[in-house]
Chains A and B, each alone.
Chain A
């Protein structure tokens, strides 16, 4: 990027503060007219040093910190951390707690996809889309608030179970919201699919083929839009996903339109999973019997060992590698966020497109820079 510029070229920094970004990162573009000749991504504007912090906090304090890796989808971050620790401790939450965890994670997935679609609409100029999805997202956030007490960054999971039970009448309040969402998703699909200008902006833009996506290391809806059915809930089931009936949504085109379509279908599958869970949830204890782990976590020393646990984040595959040395603080926690490889794959994707397409492509990847920087 620092070599001499050609006759019509200039360097534009889509800098750390820009209305187009999901978080602060710097995108240096070398433009010739409106075409992008070269691109480079610089990170580090929101680096919080979470991995170092986690080494100095106990496991219980770590749950609150891991929430903030990506504050919008805090539930899956917590699930990853708590899942790792539970594997090291050798305990497993009882069935009711597992169902509650699945319910909350699917609700979290719904609100993340709604926000992602709204932001994508805003980046291509469709501001009304953002307002509509935010309005629907409020209902989902109210449901999550009812259970955990917070809209984002819940700190709700505990080792071996969950902090509180579902409140009274949760199912009666949740079912109307889900039915409304089903109708709203069909409306969005029709709105997107029939809008001529929207199709011109997204069909054929930012095309990924399956081989390129696999070699770039992309995962999540961006990979499923190219036709690869890679979903950790099916490949490596955790919690009660092996008992639930849902399908992996894929498309074949691999462009921005396909990615949004995958998200819409995933929202439908999430609603279906939620309905099954609300039907089948059994009564029972929230924490495993006969162990000291309960709502008040005891002073714990986790046995020594290493574990790598993966979960399906709304944005892709999230993993944590935890090493414990037998004390009450982790020895090393490595967080593998889903947006890190996607952001890395952005410069090759946007070479040769126009500036307007950069907004569309980076919006359709639906990222959160906070988890790329950690």
Chain B
């Protein structure tokens, strides 16, 4: 199971969903995935290509491109390849399908990404804030245009 075969199998199965696939090193692959098909791709990875370990789900904010990205890192317990999938989302209303039915431990990662960036995960069992207090929902602190100190501090908000 090396990087070449994985990339070829992925692009063979989902030719229109995966774009800009690149093999950076024998153990690192990256690709852009279409946001509608992210869950299917993850299901295929888990079932056929032995990618059963979700490392993390996070979000990145690109205000100059007017986009946000949801980044998935998926690895395996059997082979050392780590696959990085990125989904481009519009910055005004970022929404993507939740992958909790595929990987159980994505639950908290998605909750955290939601409260820090505002990326809504559809069909998530329990999308409430995890590390921030409930009153700060809507602030999306990790976006690049968050004011922070001195106008938005814990003293003013909570």
Counting chain A CB atoms within 10 Å of each CB, which of B77, B82, B142 scores highest? B77
Tell whether, in the assembled complex, residue A336 and residue B55 are in contact, meaning their CB atoms are under 8 Å apart: yes
Tell whether, in the assembled complex, residue B132 and residue A310 are in contact, meaning their CB atoms are under 8 Å apart: no
Within 297-339 of A, Cβ neighbours of B (below 8 Å) are at 306, 308, 310, 317, 319, 321, 323, 331-332, 334, 336
B39 at the interface (CB under 8 A from A): no
B103 at the interface (CB under 8 A from A): yes
| 9-residue interface stretch from A12-20, A211-219, A272-280 | A211-219
CB proximity of A22 to chain B, nearest CB, Å? 17
CB proximity of B36 to chain A, nearest CB, Å? 23
Residues of A within 8 A of B60 (CB): 323, 331-332
B138 at the interface (CB under 8 A from A): no
A306 to B133, CA, bound (A): 31
A374 to B112, CA, bound (A): 11
With A217-B104, A341-B105 known to touch, is A319 a contact of B55 (CB < 8 Å)? yes
Chain A interface, >50% SS class: mixed
Tell whether, in the assembled complex, residue A334 and residue B56 are in contact, meaning their CB atoms are under 8 Å apart: yes
Q: How many A-B pairs fall under 8 Å by CB?
A: 75
With A214-B52, A341-B105, A345-B105 known to touch, is A44 a contact of B58 (CB < 8 Å)? no
B18 at the interface (CB under 8 A from A): no
A336 to B109, CA, bound (A): 10
With A44-B133, A49-B141 known to touch, is A217 a contact of B80 (CB < 8 Å)? no
Within 217-245 of A, Cβ neighbours of B (below 8 Å) are at 217, 219, 228, 230, 235-236
Nearest-neighbor residue (CB-CB) of B25 within chain A: A87
B28 at the interface (CB under 8 A from A): yes
Sample of 9 more A-B contacts, CB < 8 Å, known A215-B103, A323-B60, A373-B131: A44-B132, A49-B141, A214-B52, A214-B53, A217-B103, A217-B104, A230-B77, A321-B56, A336-B55
20 A-B pairs in the complex with CB atoms less than 8 angstroms apart: A43-B131, A51-B142, A52-B141, A214-B53, A214-B77, A215-B104, A217-B103, A308-B55, A308-B73, A308-B82, A310-B55, A319-B55, A319-B73, A321-B56, A321-B71, A321-B84, A336-B73, A341-B105, A344-B105, A344-B108
